[in-house]
Amino acid sequence: MSLVEELEKIKRLEKYKKGLFSYLSKYLVTYTEISSKDALRIIRKSFGRWYFDGITAGKIVDFIPKEDIVCIQDLKYIFKKVEKEYVPYKPFVFYFYEQKSYSSYEEPEIVRHNVPESNKISFEVDKYNYSISNIQYGRLRDLYVGPPGYLDDSIIMLLIYYGFIGSKNNHLSVPPPIIGGKITELFGSPLNTCAFQYCSPLKVDKRFSSLGSFFDYQFHSGVYLANPPFVADVMSVMAEKLLQGLKEVENITIYVVIPVWDNEALLRGVSYKAWDILKESPFMVDHRLLDQFSYPFYDYYNDQYIPVSDTHFILLSNNPDLQEDLTPFLDKWVTFKDKIVPIEGLTK
């Protein structure tokens, strides 16, 4: 698909996003009596998770919602927090009308600027303006396997799609220096991977050597890192697929990072399914609880280390010759503690 087609598509999706935000804001203000400002803050914070979850669940096909993506459990939790009785939510219906012909449209000009003082590169096209670090740009250039001469077009498509989802926190990573080239990242994006092999969710990612969605991936013998979006349904399906892979394929070792949501799940009145599945697994070799201020994550956009949340760090393996636990990995990770840049209110 050409850049002009992608831009027209995203503009239609922005109308959907605006309509959904307006609809949900009125719903929450009416029935929970919170302010419209608080309602929009909650919706913005949740939208990225809902979109990634929708992609995983098949509610979103080729980036287009085919049904309502709103998580009802999240809405019920909001009602519970403000001590209100839940009022059933009416699904928000989105009808996406594809424009059939773009032949009269000229391809837009992409303007690329180097910003030396911030070590960033900005991309401008139409009304869109995004910046990435020099490190990210170099990595995208190295990963690119798309049509020759279309690197910048592909980068701006990538930035527009991830910008639409609006969840930069899903680009946080285990510190790249400790991942190593032989590990396959099961949850990444072209914007946040240092591995030679990685899975990621979007179609455009394949122009940057992505192996495709983790949920379509076929395991082979090797070492993996699973650092998924902190979305309950995504993590649950991930846990089941990891264990299935360990049952079917020999010599697999997987490092898994998920948040410490045990008490939060109880508060929401739900089970923490991903943790429940993994903690009972016969393939668990080691497990540690990591403090967010001792084991930071890396922000590729700003080239800095930040505290995210307390996490479960789990080692799964069916390799009979495995000689180590999590200690060597953690001894490297904790060395980044002194590089933390605190960001108030940031959660993954």
Rounded to whole angstroms, what are the CA distances from 232 to 3, 219, 240, 255, 258?
34, 22, 13, 18, 10
In 3D, which of 136, 86, 127 has the Cα closest to residue 108? 127
Hey, where are the domains in the chain?
A: 3-81, 111-166, 169-339
In 3D, which of 100, 95, 79 has the Cα closest to residue 34? 79
The per-residue pLDDT for 301 is 80
In 3D, which of 56, 17, 92 has the Cα closest to residue 274? 56
Q: At what angle do helices 151-165 and 36-57 cross, to 10 degrees?
A: 120
Position 78, amino acid: I
**pLDDT tens per residue, the chain (348 residues)?**
688 888 889 999 999 999 999 999 999 999 999 999 999 999 998 998 899 888 888 899 889 999 999 999 899 989 988 999 999 999 998 887 765 555 456 778 899 988 887 889 999 998 899 999 888 899 999 999 999 999 999 999 999 999 999 865 556 889 988 887 689 999 999 998 888 899 998 999 999 999 999 999 999 999 999 999 887 888 999 999 999 999 999 999 999 999 988 665 555 555 788 999 999 999 999 999 999 999 999 988 878 899 988 999 999 999 999 988 999 999 999 999 999 876 655 545
β-strands 197-198, 183-185 pairing = parallel
The per-residue pLDDT for 90 is 94
Q: What gap in Å lies between CA 324 and CA 285, rounded to an integer?
A: 9
The beta-carbon contacts of 82-86 under 8 Å, at least 24 apart in sequence, are 82/32, 82/33, 82/34, 84/31, 84/32, 84/33
Rounded to whole angstroms, what are the CA distances from 104 to 4, 101, 150, 220?
10, 8, 21, 47
pLDDT tens readout for residues 77-97: 899 889 999 999 999 988 877
pLDDT tens readout for residues 187-196: 999 998 888 8
Entry pTM: 0.84
The CATH code for residues 169-339 is: 3.40.50
Q: What gap in Å lies between CA 73 and CA 92, rounded to an integer?
A: 15
β-strands 197-198, 222-226 pairing = unpaired
